[in-house]
Amino acid sequence: MICAPKLEDSVIVASNERGELTEDERSRIIEHLQKGTEMMVYQQRAERFTVQVIMETMQVALIGSRDRIVKVLDIFELKELRQWETFQDFQRFNESSTFRKIFGLSEKEVQQDSKTCFTIFYGSEFMLKSLSLNADSVEDAEKWLTGLELLRQETLAAHTPEIIESWLRKKMYIDNTKKNSITLKELKSLLPQMNITVPDGRFLEERFVEVGAKDYVLDFQQFHKFYDLLIFENQEVLLEEFEKGPAAFTISNTNRPESSVLPLSDFQNFLLYRQKETWAKNLNKVQELMTIFINDTMRKTDYPKFTIGEFLSFLFSKENSIWDEKFSEICPLDMNNPLSHYWINSSHNTYLTGDQMRSESSTEAYVRCLRLGCRCIELDCWNGRDEPVIYHGGTMTSKIKFKDAVKAINDHAFITSEYPVVLSIEEHCDTTQQKVIAQMLKDVFQDKLLTKPLDPEAKHLPSPNQLKGKIIIKHQKISESDHTDKQGNTAGKSKLNSFKNVFKKIGKPKENMVLEKEGELCIWDPIHMRFYKHDCVISDNKLYYSEEKEEDSPKEGSDLHLFEPWFHGRMAKGRITAKRLLHDFCKGRNGKDGTFLVRESDKFIRNYSISIWTRRRVQHYRIFWSSENGHASFFLTSKQCFPSMCALIEHYRQNLIEYDGLNLHLKNFLPRLNFVSHHQLGWFYSNLSQAKAEEYLLRIPRDGAFLIRQREEPDTFELSVRVEGVIKHYLIYRYNGKYVLADIYEFFRLEDMVSCFREQLFIGKIKLRYPVTPQLVERICMEDLLTCDGELYSEVHMVGQVPEDNPLGHQCKGVVDISKCNVARNAKYGRPLVVTLLNKENVKLIEFTCEILEQVEEWYQVVLNIIQSIIEKMENKTKIAVEMSDMVVYCQSIKKTLNTTFENYNCKEVRSFKDDDFTKKGNEVKPDCILEYNRIALSRVYPKGFRVDSSNFDPCPSWKLGCQMAALNFQTADKFMWLNSALFSLNGGTGYVLKPEWMRDPTKKKPSKQKIRIRVIAARHLPNSEHIISPFVKVELLPYTGARVDDYSFKTTFLNDNGLNPVWLGPRNPPKCFEVDEPDLAFLCFEVSEGDAFSDPKVLAQATFPVRGIRSGYRSVPLKNVFSENLELASLLVHVEV
């Protein structure tokens, strides 16, 4: 059963939104594709064709008039289906007014519906071909998208006998005609395409007779038998291989492929002892494997038998591959190491489709690389006329818009692999267009874009698992040393000429102290969740603030309501929640008028609301608060004021409320949930260990957090306080009916002790300010779980070092360095404008406002001017836009000379090297230093400048030194890209391969050397280039680790005129034994070339594998083309001993 991927809006892969299809649904969709659908096809011109799937050959056909097939696509070569109305083919015709006139269509009618247009991408080279189609209905388009994806997956999973049958059908359908027979004359013309020369015409005639042909015409079954005879003709000699050695079996009468049989028991022994297949102990699995290759249903029994032709077919099949597929599976546990512990699939100048000087730049090159599993792609950014562009600067390569590139990357980044993608940005834009780039990255990638570290204190990079689905920016970052000079920003500064009342209390500032802004600010306390007033000064780009001011604080008793059960504090969704609670409370108890609760106003600071049940409904009224000369007043109307909230409530319990239509007494109240009376306050714990107390206090990011706990000894207690980030404990004991603290202070009650030191300094500048209640701990824990919303605060400014010569003198409580901040403003906490200062990780440092709106706007402008002035200086100095710098988290590009690059580094840096940096003269860096660096941080190696033909360097030396990113030109089909494809076929093609343990841990040793013995025996279905080939095979162990080339490679003899079924046996083709020095980073490369005495050999096919996944025995080597794309049926037969 095939599960179709989900169809997305902007890209993509064909699918069925219902998920997994039933067999009946699948059959109906495939039947629809077989019948064919008329569509508009966009090629050189727009034409209508019938698009049809030919199941016998697994091809898509375009059928014109008179049922003439004008084009076919092999589903085997289909790579992607994309639903995309903006693809260039559609775009070209949409923009063409001539096109509209020809078809008599309005511009609106020509705008294709994105759900009816789709593009098929196919091919076997780096740049794929495309076929764009426009169906007449959404239903037709969806059936084709779903059906083609189903067939693509089924083709990839098809067994070798099915592929052979499809291949034979394609050969029989000469000139794209659906013929069910082939004549002798047609067969003679076909044989060169099958890559073989037969002895003479008589040979063919005899084979025609053998298969029972009449009148020199073969039907398909006879053609299949002819193929079996033909391919067996030259390879029956291979059966002698199995008449000796372990699990030998003798086969008599081997003149014809079906003339002898191999029983189940012999085949099982072959798998166990020749192929070392432990799974073959299970006889049922052996039976299942045999039935795949048996084409006679009568022999598919509990004890099947192979014909010798079927046995040879198995030997050459992908089911008998030399590669152990378990090494191609993803190992999730291996994805939990730091990013620096992996080799990362990386591309150089990803946008190019050819050489470095004149080739075309294309967004499709990004798509292709990402879908090939590349995880680090390069963007060369230059100033464009109106927006940034990407191209190879100083060359004649074409340009693409940066915006188009990032859109393509966003659409395709995580289709092949869900693990992080690194955008290596080579920056050539000025800061203005860098800001445009930064905004485009934010707009396109949104929450995929990594903009802050997962753990700011971590000493190692996060793992691929932690970074799933993330885009990481590699770019230069403004360093701390690049910040503005020590003199700071002097723009807009003024001498102290106001605010004199502050300095009457705290002393005069230094004479040369220049202030930018001074006054009173209301600073938000996230623990108490309210604003407190502070004297504040901005000087030398820093905001200094005093202890909270007490002159306007209410007198003792004005806060007694905090301990009353009818006071509910701040309520989420205040008025709505109060109404619901009162309604539920009163309705269920036949509630009386006058039932009430009091809560903090969610709109007005230090104001409250009383919600009253009256006449079966809830009414809300504001309780006003004011302060004059330190005396607090509470009132419903200004006619009658009370010194405390408690006094107000008690008054209206005794007297009628005559206000705004009300005429009633306050009666019952709705008690606060989990209410604790004032003599059982939450800061007291009767059963709490010291370790747990410290844990609670450390969760509260403020000095002055405290709690009191009962000790195990009778009448002893402990006061635990957070002081300068450290938890300190003080003994309390009962003596003569009093509580004695630190042998100095005596109190009748613990509440009195807490009340005393909430008003007076307890130690240093610390008061008992934040009672650590269970509710507070729970709230802080919940905030810890929700750090992504930015609600957590940094505590650095609360306890940071305050210079003695600060403008607030000894009353200065803290300082915030504005030069290292970002600033934001919005309405919150019931205030129309609140200014927020955040650090570069977007953690809040401080939030403030003023009683007068115009004043807070003035403070905001001063802060903004400082930040903008500093940004301008930094950008002028570094040529890096702050917006781009702020996006760089884990891949900070650092430029240093090679000999100093491995000193003073951290895990967030990336160093880049040319491919010859490690080997050229003058390099004094020891390999161990490079390895050690690459255990912690990242490095990227790129091709040196003279490789204008886009040739690649050997990545193995870089990988051996632990370099994670060897950036290769994916568009170039050379041996070094074969190695790259082989390495990153490991771990499920995710683009991340865990480096061996000895590279990650200096205490581990390299694995011991091993030997591998290879013998090339034969081949089938080698590709031909328009003529019959004379092939030979070269086998190499890469990389070469010694001086003698012959120790690492060998060649077979070349065979004349046979690419269908050549055999290399005899003394001229002996086995070769390789010694593998480093098995973790060794590759076995099979290269099939065409021999020619007059020119250099031409590579026809190759297969490259990491040595670690090679299997022993008689094995098939499935071949790929030079672009590492699979070749249909092409394979070698080799014998391997590991």
| Positions marked catalytic | 348, 392
672 contacts 658 by C-beta, under 8 angstroms: no
Distance CA 1123, CA 903 (A): 40
740 contacts 718 by C-beta, under 8 angstroms: no
User: Could you report how far apart the first and last alpha carbons of the chain are, in Å?
Assistant: 37
Q: Whose CA is closest to 180, among 240, 146, 222?
A: 222
Q: Which amino acid is at 923?
A: N
Q: Residues 6 or more apart from 17 whose CB is under 8 A from it?
A: 6, 7
* CA–CA distances in Å: residue 25 to residues 33, 36, 253, 517: 13, 17, 48, 73
Helix (H, G, I), strand (E, B) or coil at 234: coil
* CA–CA distances in Å: residue 1048 to residues 974, 1017, 1090: 18, 19, 21
Distance CA 931, CA 939 (A): 11
Tokens of 1056: 């004349």
If you ran DSSP here, which 8-state letter would residue 965 be given?
A: E
Strands (E), 28-102: 37-42, 46-54, 59-63, 69-74, 78-82
Q: Residues 6 or more apart from 931 whose CB is under 8 A from it?
A: 961, 962, 999, 1002
Dihedral angle of Cα 872, 873, 875, 877, to the nearest 10 degrees: 160
Distance CA 1122, CA 247 (A): 38
757 contacts 768 by C-beta, under 8 angstroms: yes
Q: Which helix (H) or strand (E) holds 286?
A: helix 283-293
* CA–CA distances in Å: residue 217 to residues 63, 184, 222, 231, 1058: 27, 6, 9, 20, 25
Placement of tokens 């009449």 in the chain? 214
What number of H helices and E strands is found in the chain?
Answer: 28, 51
Burial degree of 687 (CB within 10 A; 0-12, 13-18, 19+) = exposed
Distance CA 985, CA 373 (A): 9
612 contacts 637 by C-beta, under 8 angstroms: no
231 contacts 310 by C-beta, under 8 angstroms: no
Distance CA 119, CA 40 (A): 12
Distance CA 843, CA 793 (A): 6
Contacts 24+ apart (CB under 8 A), 874-879: 874/478, 874/482, 874/483, 874/484, 875/431, 877/482, 878/476, 878/478, 878/482, 879/430, 879/431
* β pairing state of 69-74 and 59-63: antiparallel
Q: Whose CA is closest to 809, among 495, 549, 503?
A: 503
Distance CA 61, CA 176 (A): 9
Burial degree of 624 (CB within 10 A; 0-12, 13-18, 19+) = middle
131 forms beta bridges with 120
Taking 3-state DSSP, the helix, strand and coil percentages for the chain, each rounded to the nearest 5, stand at: 30, 30, 40
1020 contacts 231 by C-beta, under 8 angstroms: yes
Placement of tokens 């006619």 in the chain? 639
